[in-house]
Amino acid sequence: MIKDLTGVTVEQDKISKYLASEILDLEETNLKNANLRSANLWCANLQSANLEYANLWSANLQHACLREADLRDADLQSANLENANLWSANLRGANLEYACLRDADLREADLYGADLRGAVLRDADLRSANLYGAKLIEANLSGAKLQGADLKGADLEGADLEGIKITKEQLDQLTVIEENE
């Protein structure tokens, strides 16, 4: 199997037709700088794959396995990651603006400095995740599990926090911005 696809550009039509009948297995594959914009990667196995700087803008990654994947500085804006497994994934500096991460498994994921503005994280599992400095402005975190998550410097301005449970220690980590009248 080909394991190094550094900088590959995939035409959406071709990969979508292929995936209509196949589950793509790209475990441990090097996809650094790959252009997978709008790709249909539904149920794909990308465990431990290198997707650093990859363009996954508007990609369908529903039910995909991205456990321990390297997604540093990847562009996942408007991507669909509903029910995706991102356990221990490295998402440092990733752009997840307006991404759908509903019911996603983000336990122990590293989201340091990630941009999650307007993202849907409803019922996502973020236990022990690193959200240090993450931008969660206007994000929907209702029902998300945040036990043990590092929220230092996280910007939750306008975020939907209905039904979440955080400890006093986590609450103390948050920066409160006073609104001007």
Task: Find, among 69, 68, 113, 76, the residue nearest to 92 by Cα.
Answer: 113
Q: Supply the pTM of this predicted model.
A: 0.85
Task: Please report, as a single letter, which amino acid is at residue 87.
Answer: W
- Which residues are CB-neighbours of 174 under 8 A, at least 6 positions away? 151, 154, 156
Q: What domains can you pick out in the chain, each with its CATH number?
A: 1-175 (2.160.20.80)
3-class secondary-structure state, position 115: strand
The torsion defined by the Cα of 88, 95, 80 and 123, in degrees rounded to 10, comes to 60
CA distances from 91 to 2, 15, 168 (A): 24, 24, 26
**DSSP letter for each residue of 28-82:** T-B-TT-B-TT-B-TT-B-TT-B-TT-B-TT-B-TT-B-TT-B-TT-B-TT-B-T
The DSSP code for 72 is T
Give the pLDDT score at 181.
46
Q: How far apart are CA 160 and CA 137, in angstroms?
A: 9
Q: What pLDDT tens digit does each residue of the chain (181 aa) get? A: 556 666 667 666 665 565 555 789 999 999 999 999 999 999 999 999 999 999 999 999 999 999 999 999 999 999 999 999 999 999 999 999 999 999 999 999 999 999 999 999 999 999 999 999 999 999 999 999 999 999 999 999 999 999 998 888 887 777 655 555 4
Question: Is the CB of residue 129 less than 8 Å from the CB of residue 108?
Answer: yes
